[in-house]
């Protein structure tokens, strides 16, 4: 089965700093999703990447898909306390209906 490994597991940054979260797949990626979760809440969809080299941005968050490396990175520029939460990457297992997820990266942004 496909596994998604996220790094780092947790991250503490000072407000205004840039940061990167990585998601590496054990198998070929047919699409990669990034979600954000605040404590006690559901997952909020951030963006979906489907093609190698694809890069998408939403406000100060940019994600990129490296198909050859079977990896995606999520970059936050000039972090703010509102960016705090758990970031999860997800992928369709073998292109099927099953979405599998990484274990998440917990981000803390100190004012």
95 binds another protein (CB under 8 A): yes
Q: How far is the CB of 18 from another protein (least distance, A)?
A: 25
Tell me if 92 contacts another protein by CB under 8 A: yes
Identify the three-state secondary structure at position 23.
strand
Cβ 111 to another protein, closest distance in Å?
26
Considering only residues 3 through 32, tell me which ones interact with another protein, judged by CB under 8 A. 30-31
DSSP class of residue 38 equals -
Q: Provide the CB-side half-sphere exposure for 84 (13 A, CA).
A: 12
Query: For residues 49 and 76, which CB has a smaller minimum distance to another protein in the complex?
Result: 49
Residue 73 Cα to chain centre, angstroms: 6
If one asks whether residue 48 binds another protein (CB under 8 A), the answer comes out as: yes
Count of other CB atoms within 10 angstroms of residue 99: 12
Q: CA–CA distance from 77 to each of 5, 68, 82, 94 (Å)?
A: 22, 25, 13, 32
SS3 109: strand
For residue 43, state whether it binds another protein (rule: CB under 8 A).
yes
For residue 44, the minimal CB distance to another protein (Å) is: 8
Binding site for another protein (CB under 8 A): 1, 30-31, 33, 35, 40-45, 48, 88, 90, 92, 95-104
């Amino acid at each position: 089965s496909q596994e998604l490994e996220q790094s780092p597991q947790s991250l503490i940054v000072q407000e205004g700093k840039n940061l990167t979260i990585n998601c590496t797949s054990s198998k070929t990626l047919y699409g990669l999703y990034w979600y954000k979760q605040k404590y006690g809440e559901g997952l909020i969809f951030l963006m979906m990447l489907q093609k190698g080299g694809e890069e998408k941005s939403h406000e100060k968050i940019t994600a990129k898909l490296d198909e050859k490396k079977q990896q995606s990175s999520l970059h936050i520029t000039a972090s703010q306390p509102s960016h705090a939460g758990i970031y999860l990457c997800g992928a369709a297992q073998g292109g099927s209906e099953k979405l599998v997820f990484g274990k998440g990266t917990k981000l803390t942004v100190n004012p």
